[in-house]
């Protein structure tokens, strides 16, 4: 493959990522509200009028309309272009890391689910079963057909879910309040099913360090109380994306 055709291939993957990101935005808006993903067509959340196709071109429409609805001029959340852009970047990074092989499809599906969970947990403190449970099943089926293999995938799901369940139960018993929810348990099981038990553990370590760092930072700058509930699912999502892209290298480096 010549380098110019390589650049063209990556550009196509980036465009594909923008289009998928646009659909993920629909999931992010509608899943927590228990609305259908296919009906009605995309509408403005403010005036509820149906968008025309040219109001709905990923990234381009947001810039062209300067972040406002074409009909009622209400502000459009910057979340829309950010999710589209992030999806495009994550897709291109995975294509660069894996090349064209079946595992790429599995990791792109996982990435898409993680992006939705990241934003929904951040905005609603919620990890919908509609994502985690089908995701867990898809991860187990795909992993039986390609790396990490069904044994590692099953171990990843059971150990990951079991660990977070035990930590959550223990915390609740001693503190009398909920620290981790069942959503976190199902989410790490899904991640374990896709990535296997080793990269699932890398995900847990990365998410815990990131969560602790952000928590300390918030306590220092905002004098937030220790009770401030961080969206642990968002940290799990970010940790799993890093683990998917370079977890094996991190693991080899750590184990010397």
Site of interaction with Zn ion (CB under 5 A): 44, 46-47, 69, 71-72, 74
> Whole-number minimum distance, CB 69 to Zn ion, in Å?
3
Closer to Zn ion by CB, 69 or 236: give it: 69
> Whole-number minimum distance, CB 21 to Zn ion, in Å?
21
Closer to Zn ion by CB, 77 or 248: give it: 77
> Whole-number minimum distance, CB 243 to Zn ion, in Å?
39
Closer to Zn ion by CB, 47 or 166: give it: 47
Closer to Zn ion by CB, 42 or 46: give it: 46
> Whole-number minimum distance, CB 39 to Zn ion, in Å?
19
Q: Which of 119, 19, 105, 115 has its CA nearest to residue 77?
A: 119
Q: How far apart are CA 127 and CA 129, in angstroms?
A: 7
> Whole-number minimum distance, CB 56 to Zn ion, in Å?
12
Closer to Zn ion by CB, 44 or 65: give it: 44
């Amino acid at each position: 493959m010549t380098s110019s055709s390589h650049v063209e291939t990556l550009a196509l993957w980036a465009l594909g990522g923008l289009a998928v990101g646009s659909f993920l935005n629909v999931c992010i808006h509608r899943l927590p509200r228990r609305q259908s993903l296919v009906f009605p067509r995309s509408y403005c959340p403010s005036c509820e009028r149906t968008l025309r196709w040219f109001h709905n071109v990923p990234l381009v429409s947001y810039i062209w309309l300067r972040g406002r609805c074409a009909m009622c001029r209400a502000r459009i959340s910057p979340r829309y272009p950010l999710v589209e852009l992030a999806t495009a970047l994550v897709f291109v990074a995975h294509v660069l890391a894996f090349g064209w092989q079946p595992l790429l499809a599995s990791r792109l599906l996982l990435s898409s689910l993680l992006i939705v969970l990241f934003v929904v947990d951040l905005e609603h403190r919620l990890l919908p079963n509609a994502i985690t449970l089908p995701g867990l099943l898809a991860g187990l089926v795909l992993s039986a057909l390609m790396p990490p293999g069904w044994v590692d995938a099953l171990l990843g799901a059971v150990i990951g879910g079991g660990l977070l369940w035990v930590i959550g139960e223990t915390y609740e018993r001693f503190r009398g309040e909920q620290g981790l929810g069942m959503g976190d348990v199902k989410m790490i099981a899904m991640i374990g099913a896709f990535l296997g038990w080793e990269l699932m553990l890398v995900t847990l370590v990365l998410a815990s360090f990131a969560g602790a760092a952000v928590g300390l930072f918030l306590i220092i700058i905002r004098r937030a109380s220790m009770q401030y509930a961080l969206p642990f699912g968002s940290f799990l999502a970010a940790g799993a994306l890093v683990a998917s892209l370079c977890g094996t290298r991190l693991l080899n480096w750590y184990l010397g």
